[in-house]
Amino acid sequence: MLRFLLRLILLVLVLGVASAIAAGWAWQRYTGPGPLTEDRTVVIERGAGVNTIAQQLTEEGVLPDPWTLRVGVRLFGEGRSLKAGEYRFPAHVSPQMVLEKLASGEVVQRQVTIPEGLTAAQVVELLAAADGLAGEVAAVPPEGSLLPETYSFTLGDSREALIQRMRAGMEAALAELWAKRAPELPLNSAEEAVTLASIVEKETGVAAERPRVAAVFVNRLRRGMPLQSDPTVIYALTGGKAASVANGEGILGRRLTRADLDADHPYNTYRIPGLPPGPIANPGRASIEAVLNPPATNELYFVADGTGGHAFAATLDEHNRNVAKWRKLQNGSQ
């Protein structure tokens, strides 16, 4: 009897040791480095179950085998479901980390950047070409209603939803900045501020010049002078739809002519006094800030200086000299 008990005790000890070794091996396999040799992106389809996901990730080389994830879900999943989406797995990611990603929904964040100064039609065109978005934009939104910035999204998000985020962003930014505007501006509404900001946006690609350009236009409005902005004439000719993003953000493709500047059109600020009926593009936050808090200057004119920026002037004589220099540079480059 004693011999039997000793054998039984020995068997229990052996089984215990074997179980401990097996458990340690399983834990190491679950928490240790996986077989993936380089970063990989995997899309988990909606409705996929644990078995399907485990098999897919094994075939993709993310997991050493399907059962590692299955057992992990059963032992450590704590009732959490695995979420569909696009996942980025780093090289040698452990099955434990795979489970954590899938359970938390730590999906890939994609981005799309909307540059300042695009028309609404161009923004819709840019989104149409953006990989990873779904659906179409219901209609081209009103000009000036979209806030240019970088937006994050996940695979399968809708283009229409992103447009609505841009509109909400513009509404929020405009409400904030309008409340902080300088006193006695020649602007009757936040909408007029967006219109002027869109002109500033199209007049200069130099960020540091925005406040100065804005001040010129504010000074002109205060004096009742026409804005005489070439981009408004270009918008009158194209409607913001003729040129694609790839063709240079809405440029006309030729120089403006005297006939263009004399054309009778509500957006031609060489002919009409004050602001045009609405924005000519979607201005960024910096341009809106510039028109709502312009620096105090006496400048009324500016012209290209050949360096990508502009030469500013307070008097017509000074401006004419700057124009002569610019024309000389133009003629010399031809």
2-21 pLDDT tens trace = 554 555 555 455 455 445 45
* Cβ–Cβ under 8 Å, residues 217 and 199: yes
Separation in Å, CA 210 to CA 63, 195, 207, 292, 293:
54, 14, 6, 12, 11
* Cβ–Cβ under 8 Å, residues 145 and 120: yes
Q: Where are the domains of the chain?
A: 32-108, 182-297
Q: Are strands 310-313 and 301-304 parallel, antiparallel or unpaired?
A: antiparallel
pLDDT > 70 in the chain, percent:
86
**pTM (predicted TM-score):** 0.83
Tokens representing residue 89 in the block: 């797995």
Which residue(s) pair with 255 in the sheet?
none
93-149 pLDDT tens trace = 999 999 999 999 999 999 999 999 999 999 999 999 999 999 999 999 999 999 999
Cα-Cα-Cα-Cα dihedral of 272, 273, 274, 276, to 10°?
-10
pLDDT of residue 289: 97
Which CATH fold would you assign to the domain 32-108? Dna Ligase; domain 1 (3.30.1490)
* Cβ–Cβ under 8 Å, residues 235 and 267: yes
What does each of the 334 residues of the chain score in pLDDT, given as a tens digit?
655 455 555 545 545 544 545 445 556 778 889 999 999 999 999 999 999 999 999 999 999 999 889 888 888 765 578 999 999 999 999 999 999 999 999 999 999 999 999 999 999 999 999 999 999 999 999 999 999 999 999 999 999 999 999 999 999 999 999 999 999 999 999 999 999 999 999 999 899 999 999 999 999 999 999 999 999 999 998 876 644 444 444 467 788 888 988 888 999 999 999 999 999 999 999 999 999 999 999 999 999 888 889 999 999 999 999 898 888 877 765 5
d(Cα 133, Cα 161) in Å, to the nearest integer? 10
C-alpha R_g of the chain: 32
Residue 147, Cβ density class (10 Å: 0-12 exposed, 13-18 middle, ≥19 buried): buried
Residue 13, Cβ density class (10 Å: 0-12 exposed, 13-18 middle, ≥19 buried): exposed
